[in-house]
Amino acid sequence: MKIQIDHKDFELMIEHEQVKKRLRLIGIQLNVAYENRIPVFVGVLNGCFMFMADLMKEVHIASEVCFVKMASYRGDQREEEVKTLIGLPNSLKGREVIIVEDIIDTGNTLKQVIELVEREEPVSIAVCTLLLKPEALEYDFEELAYVGFEIENQFVVGYGLDYKGIGRNLKDIYRAV
């Protein structure tokens, strides 16, 4: 199946059913790893909203949720500088934090988010991402603990990911062709 967004063609890459199955497995891992603890899930907006909403339905332990908003893309072009648009609303001092990302490519945004969280002096930081582009990574992250899918270094849309603000609502994930 192919779609077009703003004259750019995309083809189906990951069906929603595959995403749901993977989320169930990540949910089980999180439930076991954080049993009898109360972690704080920090979602990175806007892209994480669908992933995080569905992920939290699979998390059955006590937990808290908050969000940060970072900007690293303009259209389909990565920007060098990552901007913080919305910061952390709560103190994370002494807390166990799970950063939830839609996609990690270069790692610039994640690096900024980790630095933002570290300033709050949490006990631990783990990263949970739906998509990871290993070929594009410019940093090593020891915090990277939960990965939905490793993908090639291609531009993707759907399931929270956008192209020029469009496509976040698609339930499947598509790659540019």
88: confidence class by pLDDT, cuts 50, 70, 90: confident
Q: Which domains does the chain have, with CATH numbers?
A: 2-176 (3.40.50.2020)
Residue located via tokens 């909203």: 49
Catalytic residue among 105, 140, 162, 172: 105
Active site residue 172: no
pLDDT in tens, 99-127: 999 999 999 989 999 999 999 999 999 99
74: confidence class by pLDDT, cuts 50, 70, 90: low
Q: What pTM value is reported for the model? A: 0.90
Taking residues 82-91, report their average pLDDT: 67
pLDDT in tens, 14-48: 999 999 999 999 999 999 999 999 999 999 998 99
List of residues 6+ apart from 110 with CB closer than 8 A: 44, 99, 101, 104, 127, 129, 139, 141
Query: Is the dihedral angle over the CA atoms 171, 2, 109, 34 positive or is it negative?
Result: positive
Residue 91 has a pLDDT of 85
pLDDT in tens, 123-177: 999 999 999 999 999 999 999 999 999 999 999 999 999 999 999 999 999 999 9
Q: Where are the alpha helices (DSSP H) in the chain?
A: 16-33, 49-58, 108-118
